Amino acid sequence: MDTSGSELSVLSAALKGAGIRMTHQRIEVFSELQASHGHPSVTEIYEGVRKRLPSISPDTVYRTLRLFSELGLIIPHSSTSSVTRFDVNVHEHHHFVCTRCSRIFDFTSSSIDPLEVPREAESFGEVQGVQLEVRGICRDCLRRERTQEE
Amino acid sequence: MDTSGSELSVLSAALKGAGIRMTHQRIEVFSELQASHGHPSVTEIYEGVRKRLPSISPDTVYRTLRLFSELGLIIPHSSTSSVTRFDVNVHEHHHFVCTRCSRIFDFTSSSIDPLEVPREAESFGEVQGVQLEVRGICRDCLRRERTQEE
DNA sequence: GCCCAGATAATAATATTTCTTATCTAGGAT
DNA sequence: ATCCTAGATAAGAAATATTATTATCTGGGC
Ligand SMILES: [Mn+2]
Ligand SMILES: [Mn+2]
Ligand SMILES: [Zn+2]
Ligand SMILES: [Zn+2]
């Protein structure tokens, strides 16, 4: 659970650079993330931090993880938006996922299709499908953010 | 909102093949999916179907979409599991996502890395990252399902 | 040490998804 | 066509996940 000083300096630099305070809560959430394996859920981080900061609230963990995502310290896995969405198009295609509004855009690509499954992926189990997932900020969100900057 | 007969025959075949009943609710959810664009959420499907079947319950929509996913008529986008997960590893890597237990496994691939962003994806906005997402059933889930079949 | 904008804890509220149970119905048997 | 029942649904409660509100607290510049 103890995070090395070099890792903490990453947090320190990121927060200082954005003019954001270095709080106990943020340090502990960051440490918990570093100590975690795989792709931790909010609850897992919350329960871990709670052992050292028993009074921390779930809200703070949510807020902090959102902040860290904005700072690029962590990456939310796919749609953070808490609604399940379905793809009616079952043919092979790829996705551009907007990290702001979480809309999903389809595309195919002449340069990479048909996309083959890397050997490394097959060792995990039975493959059902493979697709490219491009994360980014969509045109609409870019325009909206530029407008607000004025 | 009206679905062509040929599309409905896909539903009919899928249900009959699995020995599952063809109900009003399933037909309307299926039609709504066909009429939808993009990647509809459960609520969007529910609201749409409700115009024609005012008494349908959210539970039935959830249940039906889960069934359709199992039949391969639709594909749930990424982790259907309703918990947000974060990637602490911000370096470029790829994912194997288990469609049963929704666990996520990391991998890199000498054959495709570094992965470049297809030209077609750049038109949607500002690209932040790209990764391969392999969907499948992990070893643990495969073993568990084989055991239960006895 | 003082100060206060920014951050947090507690709590309530909202949103999403699943469970329980009584009722209903699709479709095979008669 | 009617009967029958396993499977399906509706309604409502419950469990989870997430966000909003507000009073209180604190990091860090002075
Ligand atoms: Mn798609
Ligand atoms: Mn990962
Ligand atoms: Zn967007
Ligand atoms: Zn699995």
Q: How far, in Å, CA of A101 to CA of A79, rounded?
A: 9
Distances A62 to A147, B85, B107 between C-alpha atoms, Å: 28, 11, 27
- Render pLDDT for B23-64 as a digit per residue (tens, 0 to 9): 999 999 999 999 998 899 999 999 999 999 999 999 999 999
Distance B2 CA to C27 C1' (A): 25
Residue B130: closest CA among chain A residues belongs to which residue?
A: A134
Q: How far, in Å, CA of A117 to CA of B95, rounded?
A: 12
Q: Are B134 and B98 in contact (CB under 8 A)?
A: no
CB of B21 under 7 A from strand D?
Answer: yes
CATH number assigned to the domain with residue range A5-75, chosen from the 4 options 3.40.50.720, 1.10.10.60, 1.10.10.10, 1.10.1740.10: 1.10.10.10
Q: Which residues of chain B make contact with A134, given a CB cutoff of 8 A? A: 117-118, 121, 124, 127, 129-130
Q: How far, in Å, CA of A83 to CA of B82, rounded?
A: 8
The amino acid present at A111, given as its one-letter code, is S
H or E element at residue A128: strand A125-138
Beta carbons of A141 and B125 less than 8 Å apart: yes
Provide the shortest C-alpha distance from residue B55 to chain A (in Å): 22
Range scoring the smallest mean pLDDT among A34-38, B12-16, B47-51, B141-145: B141-145
Residue B2 clears pLDDT 80, i.e. is over it? no
- The residues of chain A scoring below 70 in pLDDT are 1-6, 79-82, 148-150
Three-state DSSP class for residue A138: strand
Q: Is A13 on the interface with B (CB under 8 A)?
A: no
Q: What local confidence, expressed as pLDDT, does residue B10 receive?
A: 95
Instruction: Give the closest of A75, A82, A109 to B86, CB-based.
Output: A75
- A106 CA → ligand 2 middle, Å: 22
Residue B115 clears pLDDT 60, i.e. is over it? yes
| DSSP string for residues in A33-85 | HHH--S--BHHHHHHHHHTT-TT--HHHHHHHHHHHHHHTSSEE-S--SSS-B
Q: What local confidence, expressed as pLDDT, does residue A2 receive?
A: 52
* Bridge partner list, A94: A107
CB of A56 under 7 A from strand C?
Answer: yes
- B126 CA → ligand 4 middle, Å: 33
Three-state DSSP class for residue B93: coil
What does the pLDDT average to over B5-28?
Answer: 93
Q: What local confidence, expressed as pLDDT, does residue B4 receive?
A: 63
Q: Where are the domains of chain B?
A: 5-75, 91-149
- What rounded mean pLDDT belongs to chain B? 90
Instruction: Give the closest of A74, A96, A117 to B124, CB-based.
Output: A96
Distance A62 CA to C9 C1' (A): 13
Beta carbons of B83 and A42 less than 8 Å apart: yes
CATH 3.30.1490.190 fits A91-149, yes or no: yes
Provide the shortest C-alpha distance from residue A109 to chain B (in Å): 6
